Structure 1
């Protein structure tokens, strides 16, 4: 029996978040009975429970702002070590999601080596580039990432672009890496076109099915909202731009409003968040096109979901997006008028070309990103 301890997600059952969804589906779709999963869960108490045949252990973490996640990972790691020792578990793997605890890892790595425990790390994306962090936190992230790379037995990258970056930037450590993508599922929403709650959402937001472009994602500058909104305002499209995001009247929203004056363009509609996954799936299906401006990080879950659901996907031309979308999407650059011109072109696509793009996008998901494939890849890795 191979015991795999997963720490770094907030835990399961998943309520939100890419890592949480990953752990939820990795464990739900488990095939090989020779793997036993142990998953840490952030909590207000220390306890244990079982969920879909997984041993979940709650870790009590004090609420200390942005430092809480670091403390959580350290406490989770200590609990894994305690449990492995107490149960005399041999040949275990501890899989840490994200590189938060680099400054603390060397001490624990010595213990793990002596115990015969392998340390796997998912480096996630370029967390140190994210604008939500101030200068000092970004410096911490970069330093922490370096130390996690240095001490990991294996780095599991969910993007070939991230894997190449790790090998190049940290060549001095000769990092051992492997690539296993994030997953998605091609399926039709269970929500019917005449659903009352869907109709209510359409009416409330004045949205017409198949007559809007869609953006779904965190409302942060590195997702290039300003670029996409400016370019959409320049376009001649008679469709709407529907933006599903956690705006909440934050500073970035107000700055964007002042810079672009998008409130004067009736096509641009901020509609808040949609937590109902069936609804969100249907909204994606009914979009004429999906805009994706993310340029930080690896394989982005919202992009995979768009490729699985939306027929036409317009992606910012960066290595991570090109790797995922391949020939199943069309691309724009950050130069002026690039996206505006593309939008005008996409508006004129005929049905056959739209369906061709849709088929290619869904084939990308089925062939390279299905959860069945991802789970198989992970189980093979853990057992071998």
Structure 2
């Protein structure tokens, strides 16, 4: 098959990357290994881009976009759509994010098969202004009806769409397994932290992720360990400065870290915390589960589905509840480790990238 894909930021990931980039990095090379050709459309921002033409057999086309928040994705997706149509780069188009579903219309008119990966209920995310939420609500109708297939990575969003639009959609979760390179310990010296002596969060610094709960909860806890917050705001944001203003001396902001370094940090954390208000099926949570690392998550439906009974949970948005869970982790780490072992079994059996790839091939070929 000839496949083109857009809707993520870049492969390999760069500053501002998130779950969509992790998904692209894992899925597309595996499609190439199975004998298909893949063209991935990277974004080039005025100050950020990855200068590559190929990544693990995937052909990379980099197209400029704007830094203006909320319009960078639409502009890049429009230009990617034009390139696919004018240069006939693919027969099958895989689009990430239902907000890009409007491009399914011209692509299908020009004979392309279009598949959209929908990772959650986007209009519930606090990062969007009212007009952004309105657009995402309207685009949900296009997502529901115009692609050849919509692929959901979590059953909660899938059920919401099925109930709303009286249709059946495909469910394919993210994978969980990653390779951790042995002897890659320089990151600990770089951050001045010790193995197993820090809590960790990895992701974008946006209100959806709940860091404004995590930092005060950690400050109020009994822990004398570090809290390492990997990531940042994909666009300049006062929210990131607010987080730094409320952080105590044991809270570290190293910025964006990728690849072996972030996998090493995850695999050696005392505990990973995911405090999100809104999520799809979080690829970071699945990765942490696969790495056999203790985990605390908010009790939103998507996290409940991922971890089931293999992690500690706190009440969404409740600082006191999260503080109690951090204190529990400090006092009962042996129980946290036991839960982590159960989580690893669940992750590697239920959320496997090879299985994910085979299921995408099956959907594309129908």
Task: Work out whether 1:119 is the aligned partner of 2:119.
Answer: no
Task: Work out whether 1:217 is the aligned partner of 2:207.
Answer: no
| Structure of larger gyration radius | 1
Match of 2:331 in 1: 348
Match of 1:138 in 2: 133
Relative to the length of structure 1, the TM-score reads 0.81
Closer/same/farther in 2, CA of residues 356 and 140 from structure 1, 3 Å limit? same
**Counterparts of 1:18 and 1:127, CA distance in 2:** 14
Gaps of at least 5 residues in structure 1 are none
Match of 1:4 in 2: 3
Q: For the Cα contact (< 8 Å) 1:232–1:340, is it kept in 2? A: yes
Matches within 5 A, 1:280-295: 280-295=262-277
**Counterparts of 1:213 and 1:61, CA distance in 2:** 35
**Counterparts of 2:53 and 2:180, CA distance in 1:** 33
**Counterparts of 2:171 and 2:223, CA distance in 1:** 39
Relative to the length of structure 2, the TM-score reads 0.84
Q: Equivalent residue of 1:272, what SS? A: strand
Closer/same/farther in 2, CA of residues 148 and 226 from structure 1, 3 Å limit? same
Match of 2:252 in 1: 270
**Counterparts of 1:105 and 1:276, CA distance in 2:** 31
Superposition deviation, residue 105 in structure 1: 4.5
Q: For the Cα contact (< 8 Å) 2:13–2:21, is it kept in 1? A: yes
Match of 1:147 in 2: 142
Q: For the Cα contact (< 8 Å) 1:127–1:297, is it kept in 2? A: no
Q: Equivalent residue of 1:295, what SS? A: coil
Superposition deviation, residue 197 in structure 1: 4.6
Match of 2:48 in 1: none
Task: Work out whether 1:191 is the aligned partner of 2:192.
Answer: no
Match of 1:371 in 2: 353
Q: What is the aligned length?
A: 356
Match of 2:320 in 1: 337
Superposition deviation, residue 118 in structure 1: 2.4
Deviations 1:186-220 (A, max 9, x none): 5444235xx44522422xxxx34323222222112
- Let me know the Cα RMSD of the aligned residues: 3.0
Match of 2:153 among 158, 167, 172: 158
Higher mean displacement: 181-190 or 281-290: 181-190
Gaps of at least 5 residues in structure 2 are 46-51
Deviations 1:108-149 (A, max 9, x none): 44x14xx3x322111232332333322212211221232222
Superposition deviation, residue 298 in structure 1: 0.8
Match of 2:80 among 76, 79, 92: 76
Q: Equivalent residue of 1:298, what SS? A: coil
Superposition deviation, residue 222 in structure 1: 1.7
